[in-house]
Each structure stands twice: as structure tokens, then as C-alpha cells.
Amino acid sequence: MSHRLTPEHEDLRRTVEDFARTEVAPVIGDYYERGAFPYEVIAAMGRMGLFGLPFPEEHGGMGGDYFALCLALEELARVDSSVAITLEAGVSLGAMPIHRFGSAEQKKTWLPRLCSGEALGAFGLTEPGAGSDAGGTRTTAELVDGGWVVNGVKSFITNSGTDITALVTVTAVTGTRPDGRPEISAILVPSGTPGFALGQKYSKVGWNASDTNELVFTDCRVPEANLVGERGRGYAQFLRILDEGRVAIAALSVGLAQGCVDESVRYAGERSAFGRNIGHYQAIQFKIADMEARAHTARLAYYDAASRMLAGEPFKKQAAIAKLVASNAAMDNARDATQVFGGYGFMNEYPVGRFYRDAKILEIGEGTSEVQRMLIARELGLPA
């Protein structure tokens, strides 16, 4: 019984910690202010192999596991969430569906570039009218003359519009099931396919150095072979992907929560008020102690979910709990850290200001907190 890291995981954690401090921290604030995508930082993450972490070496991966990805996400998010979500979405939403459900041909074509970080993948589930209720997908894909013709709109799709975006996998209605409900499948649409366009530009509250777009498909035609996994299994497949993704988002949330502690401890030792460093005041100490306790318990929650996932055991409930608890911790810690910083916490030049703006989405993306509670309740046998 141990939640201690193996030497390899610890070495990776330290490597990413070092990278985040020396390569990301000094430059990211500027990208964030400009709302610019940090291509250079992402390329450096690619050279370190972060985008290939959980994939086998035969497809250009690092031969690691999903927990290794989680550790990298945590360490990146301790410094910045935009680069962390770019990695999370690229790996667990962009490349993972192809790795897990794709054909041999699809894997050969796409995974090496995605694993190297030279190309990014995206995953489009959410629509203007279908988020939590993703089964309510309206986008359609019709098989015409040996090709899928996709029509519809996807909302808030991460990594979908960068210069290095290679593909987006979308869920679409491909027919009607015998029981009368829509048959949902997953279709891979390469960037640049005619009929695939970016929609309105968003003005985001946070994650400003990450890429999010609305996608519009108008008679967008791709080969029949671009079906990912089985026809009619699109939604079910993605539920599995989303279970894993929750553990990754939990790790990212823990990173943000820990980053708040790091910054607060440092600032409490520097800032003085009424003749003493504010770190002498119990009100500040207790706030920071509570922050550390939240980060720590949330970390144990995601370690537990990840260890079950790696052991091949059911982990749905633990993943939902980890995401719920960790996103809460991130939100609470961001609020408290901003308070520790006083007026400076409200300034974008300090990382905590960024943490504050980046925390809220964690309670929304990849399943809202309400959705996590629904999942936990169902796992407890309460009626759906």
C-alpha cells in the first residue's frame, strides 16, 4: 500500500518541474496577455516527449503510462494551465481515441506526428445545444458514395485551430438505432478539409494562451475509412475517453492548487504589513495550511483513480471523485491565493491572477461538477 512515486515517475516529475520553472514560467505571462498560442513552448514540450507519454514506442510514443501524463500535467499546471490543457487535450482527447479505437492505418498515419508534438489533435463532442447532455448531438455524418458528409457545429473545441492542428475527431449522428434513438459515431476530419471551417472567435475568461474554437462543418466530405472505431459506438467510446480525461483534469487541477500554495508561501515571506511579514499572521498561515491540505487530498484522490486505471480495475467513481474534489481545490485555492496577494493578486502580472482566471473552467470542462456528482450517485446505485 503506497502512493509513493517510482524512481522513474519521480525523475519525470522533477524533469517537468524543472522545465516548467525555467522554460514556461518566464515567458507564459506575455503569451497569455496577448492571447497568443505559445508555439515555441509547445515545441519544447514535444521534444521532451510529453505528447507521447502514454503511447507505445512503435507509434512514436514514450512507452510510459497515463499516470506519467498526469504527473506532467500537474507540474506544468503548477506554473501555467494553458500549456497544460494543450498537452491534456492533445494527448487524451486528440491522440487517445485514435490509439484506442483507430484502425492500424489511422494509427500509422497520425500517431507519430501527434506523439512528437509537431501536430496537435482535437476532439469535438460539445455542441451549442449539447454539452453535459452530449448524447443530444445534432451534427450529422451521412455515408454518400463511399465518403462521410459531415454537417453541424461544435463548440469550445480545444487545439482545433492552431497552425499545427492536424485533425479533429467529431461525434456525429450517422443513423437511427433499432430502438429509434440516434446512432452516434466518431469521424476523423483532417485540418484543411473543404467544408471544415473555424466559426466565431471566443473571448475567454481564462486559458488565454490555449486555443479554443467553434467549428463549422458544411458538406464536409472525408473518406469512409475515417470512421474511428465502430459505427454506432461513438458515444460509448468517448465515455471511456472522458473517464480517463477526468483523471487528467484532476491532475491539472491539483497542479493549479499547488501552484497557489507555492506562490502564497513565497509571497507571505516577502510582503510586510503592520511591521511584519504577513506570513507571521495566523489568518494567512491557516489559509495557506488549508490550501496545502486541499491540494494534498486532491492529489491522493487522483493518484488512487490513476492506480486503479493502470491496474485495469473499474475507476469511474474514483475518477469522478478526483475531478470533483480537485477542481474544487483549484477554485478554492485560487480564491485564497489571490486574497493572500491582496491588490497584487488582482493584477495579471502575478501568476495568481492567472490562476484565478484559469481555475473556474476546471469545474466545467470534461464534465461539470454536477455531472461528476451524477456519476458518483449512479455508481452508488441511486436512480439515473
Ligand X SMILES: Cc1cc2nc3c(=O)[nH]c(=O)nc-3n(C[C@H](O)[C@H](O)[C@H](O)COP(=O)(O)OP(=O)(O)OC[C@H]3O[C@@H](n4cnc5c(N)ncnc54)[C@H](O)[C@@H]3O)c2cc1C
Should residue 212 be labelled a site residue for ligand X when binding is judged by CB under 6 A?
A: yes
Contacts with ligand X, 153-192, as mask; x by CB under 6 A: ---xxx----------------------------------
Rg (CA), the chain: 21
Grid cell for residue 263: 506562490
Which entry of other proteins, ligand X, none binds 132, CB below 5 to 8 A by partner kind?
ligand X
Should residue 7 be labelled a site residue for other proteins when binding is judged by CB under 8 A?
A: yes
Q: How far is the CB of 265 from ligand X (least distance, A)?
A: 29
By C-alpha distance, which of 27, 168, 22, 34 is closest to 90? Answer: 168
The 10 Å Cβ neighbour count of residue 302 is: 29
Binding residue (CB under 8 A) for other proteins from 5, 48, 216, 374: 48
Binding residue (CB under 8 A) for other proteins from 63, 135, 223, 314: 63
Look at the chain and count its residues. 384
Binding residue (CB under 6 A) for ligand X from 364, 376, 377, 378: 364
Should residue 47 be labelled a site residue for other proteins when binding is judged by CB under 8 A?
A: yes
Should residue 70 be labelled a site residue for other proteins when binding is judged by CB under 8 A?
A: no
- C-alpha to C-alpha distances, 100 to 96, 104, 127, 146, 152, nearest whole angstrom: 6, 11, 23, 24, 25
Should residue 122 be labelled a site residue for other proteins when binding is judged by CB under 8 A?
A: no
Q: Is residue 37 within 8 Å of 211, Cβ to Cβ? A: yes
Should residue 88 be labelled a site residue for ligand X when binding is judged by CB under 6 A?
A: no
Burial letters 235-267, b for 16+ CB under 10 A, else e: bebbeebbbbbbbbbbbbbbbbbbbbbbbbbeb
Alpha helices in the chain (DSSP H): 7-19, 25-34, 39-47, 66-77, 81-88, 96-101, 104-116, 234-268, 282-310, 316-340, 351-359, 369-379
Q: Catalytic: which of 127, 366, 370, 379?
A: 366
Should residue 93 be labelled a site residue for ligand X when binding is judged by CB under 6 A?
A: yes
Which entry of other proteins, ligand X, none binds 218, CB below 5 to 8 A by partner kind?
none
Should residue 123 be labelled a site residue for ligand X when binding is judged by CB under 6 A?
A: yes
Q: How far is the CB of 22 from ligand X (least distance, A)?
A: 20
Judge whether 224 counts as a catalytic residue: no
Q: How far is the CB of 45 from other proteins (least distance, A)?
A: 9
Q: Is residue 157 within 8 Å of 120, Cβ to Cβ? A: no
144 SS3 class: strand
Residues that bind other proteins (CB under 8 A): 7-8, 11-12, 15, 18-19, 44, 47-50, 52-53, 57, 62-64, 68
Residues that bind ligand X (CB under 6 A): 89, 93, 122-126, 131-132, 156-158, 207, 212, 361, 364-366, 368, 370-371
